Amino acid sequence: MAIVRNSFTPRLDGDSSRGTAFKDNEEESCSSPESAGDGVFEDGASDADSGLGSDELDLSEIGEPGTEICQVGNQTCSFPLDLYDVPNLGLVLSLETWNECLTEEERFALAEYLPDLDQENFSITLKELFSGSNFHLCSPLTGFFQSVEDGAL
């Protein structure tokens, strides 16, 4: 639905600038795109669809209330705004949290994001990940926390 500008400008004496009578019926007073001329307004704006799809709202770009849309690599996710206020998020994401606070189903679901490893290497990888050890010259968790603090997600 295009926004159509009203062609009537009210004057102080109650008259209209484009025609002498003010129309009471809402349908008659609203002009349609066809009656607005060729769809080009005085300021050069056009009500024509560009055809690029940019006129439509993509609901996946909005996110949930209280979240911010973040992109990490080629993945987009909603990031809760409350996490920005957690003083040391690293204390929450720990091996202790992994072992004591998560259910077995939650651990299996999160393990899907890690490479396929045998049990021994999986345990070593988790310890290194949560201790802040470097993987290929940097620590993934330290880099993530720094990005959160900088607002660079």
pLDDT at residue 103 in the model: 94
Helix axes 119-131, 140-150, angle to 10 degrees: 40
Query: Is the same domain home to 75 and 14?
Result: no
The token pair that represents 85 in the structure block: 């206020």
Total domains in the chain come to 2
Domain end marker among 36, 56, 76: 56
pLDDT at residue 105 in the model: 94
pLDDT at residue 3 in the model: 42
pLDDT at residue 5 in the model: 40
- pTM of the full structure: 0.39
Query: Is the same domain home to 3 and 37?
Result: yes
Query: Could you list the pLDDT tens digit for every one of the 153 residues in the chain?
Result: 444 444 444 444 544 444 444 444 444 444 444 444 555 556 565 556 555 555 554 545 566 788 877 776 777 777 788 877 777 776 777 888 888 999 999 988 988 887 788 888 888 888 887 777 776 666 666 677 677 777 665
Domain containing 10: what range?
1-56
pLDDT at residue 10 in the model: 44
CA atoms 30, 34, 39, 42: torsion sign: negative
Q: What does the alpha-carbon distance between residue 74 and residue 99 come to, in Å, rounded to a whole number?
A: 29
pLDDT at residue 4 in the model: 41
pLDDT at residue 53 in the model: 55
Contact predicate 140/147, CB 8 Å: no
Query: Is the same domain home to 124 and 73?
Result: yes
Query: Is the same domain home to 141 and 68?
Result: yes
pLDDT at residue 134 in the model: 74
